[in-house]
Amino acid sequence: MPKPSILVVCTGNSARSQMAEGFMKKYLSDDFSITSAGLDPKPIINPLAIDVMREAGIDISQQYPKALKTFLGQYFTFLITVCSNAEERCPIFPGVSYRLFWPFDDPAAFEGTEVERLAKFRQVRDQIDSRIRQWMLEYKLKQLHPGAKTT
């Protein structure tokens, strides 16, 4: 039987969704198939996303932005949007068991000095990590108690 699958979606697939994919692969790759995509994918992952994830002990440098349209027609157990734009524009994926919305600020849109931008990336990275850890606990609770709600 195939693993449950997770698709994380944002606009550019260059920062937030890539960081979420990295954390999920670290924590959940034994139990889930995990990927990310963007509505309008950028050509490369934002270098600051790679840097802050490396600080957290996760290498996402081999990941790459992927177009959401390449996944149309595929089945995903979980579809998670991580920005308002993706939540509004993401097409319906028939067969998705759970569609979740976890909005995070776009660290790539933050303007400031290099130090300030890096701090913003770290802040969003830590928020993503915290949200995924919270979801993992909720998911495990739901497995033990099927009537529990997953957010």
| Selected catalytic residue, list 7, 9, 10, 37 | 10
10 is catalytic: yes
90 is catalytic: yes
1 is catalytic: no
Q: Could you give the angle at which helices 16-28 and 114-144 cross, rounded to 10 degrees?
A: 40
Distance CA 28, CA 135 (A): 11
| Selected catalytic residue, list 19, 52, 86, 90 | 90
Residues 6+ apart with CB under 8 A from 136: 27, 28
| Selected catalytic residue, list 20, 28, 83, 128 | 83
No. of H helices and E strands in the chain? 4, 4
The full DSSP string for 54-88 is: HHTT---TT----BGGGGTT---SEEEE-SHHHHH
Pairing mode of beta strands 78-81, 33-38: unpaired
Catalytic residues: 10, 83, 90
